């Protein structure tokens, strides 16, 4: 399985905010859409990622106050990106090594989606279930009287 397959399953919609946007507005957008990250676009160009981790770190540092804080102040600039033809194995390795839960996916410099660790888990479960069904069907339809060689 490759990243392109995961994007087909989940869709390629991307929720974004500008670097000058308020962190309070970003949090509201994430809560309303029940998502854990926003892509930060500056004039259509990927400038960074904002996840709940950056928001929580900022809250901790500022004593639970978000007033006046801009996305650019806390976002993760120039995030690591994946490509649609990357394998799920390389994706898991990258996300683990970089300690990230949300990965922008670019093709030819164009943002085509965001993959979350949750998306990866769902894809692995689907793929494993499919293989299990194939094996069960194979075993169930094993010809009587034939022995394993």
CATH number, position 110: 3.10.580.10
The residue among 147 and 80 whose pLDDT is bigger is 80
Domain that residue 127 falls in:
3-140
Structure tokens belonging to residue 74: 């806390």
High-pLDDT (> 90) share of the chain, %: 62
**CB contact at 8 A, 44 and 106:** no
92 has pLDDT over 90? no
H/E stretch holding 113 reads: strand 110-116
Residue 48 inside a domain? The answer is yes
Alpha-carbon span 74 to 76, nearest angstrom: 7
Give, rounded to a whole angstrom, the gap between the first and last alpha carbons of the chain. 31
Q: 145 lies in a domain?
A: no
d(CA 15, CA 114): 9
User: What distance in Å separates the CA atoms of residue 82 and residue 97, rounded to the nearest whole number?
Assistant: 13
Q: Looking at residue 143, what is its pLDDT?
A: 79
* Residue 44 included in any domain: yes
Q: For the chain, give the longest Cα–Cα distance.
A: 76
For residue 49, being part of any structural domain is answered with yes
Q: Is residue 120 part of a domain?
A: yes
* Closest alpha carbon to 35 in 97, 117, 95: 117
Rounded to the nearest integer, the mean pLDDT of the chain is 89
**Average pLDDT over every residue of 15-35:** 96
pLDDT value, residue 145:
60
Specify if 148 maps to a domain: no
Task: State mean pLDDT over 93-116.
Answer: 93
- Does the structure show a pLDDT above 70 at 140? yes
Write down the pLDDT at residue 1.
83
| Predicted local confidence at residue 71, as pLDDT | 98
Residue 146 domain-assigned (yes or no)? no
* Residue 85 included in any domain: yes
Rounded to an integer, the average pLDDT of 43-72 is 92
Number of domains observed in the structure of the chain: 1
Residue 87: DSSP 8-state: B
């Amino acid at each position: 399985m490759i990243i392109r397959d995961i994007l087909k399953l989940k869709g390629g919609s991307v929720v974004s905010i500008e670097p000058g946007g308020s962190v309070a507005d970003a949090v509201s957008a994430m809560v309303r859409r029940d998502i854990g990250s926003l892509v930060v676009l500056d004039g259509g160009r990927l400038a960074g990622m904002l996840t709940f981790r950056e928001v929580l770190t900022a809250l901790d540092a500022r004593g639970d106050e978000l007033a006046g804080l801009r996305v650019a102040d806390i976002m993760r600039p120039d995030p690591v990106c994946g490509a649609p033809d990357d394998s799920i194995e390389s994706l898991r390795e990258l996300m683990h090594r970089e300690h990230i839960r949300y990965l922008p996916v670019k093709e030819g410099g164009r943002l085509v989606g965001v993959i979350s660790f949750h998306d990866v888990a769902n894809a692995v479960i689907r793929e494993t279930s499919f293989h299990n069904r194939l094996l069960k069907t194979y075993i169930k339809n094993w010809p009587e009287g034939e022995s394993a060689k």
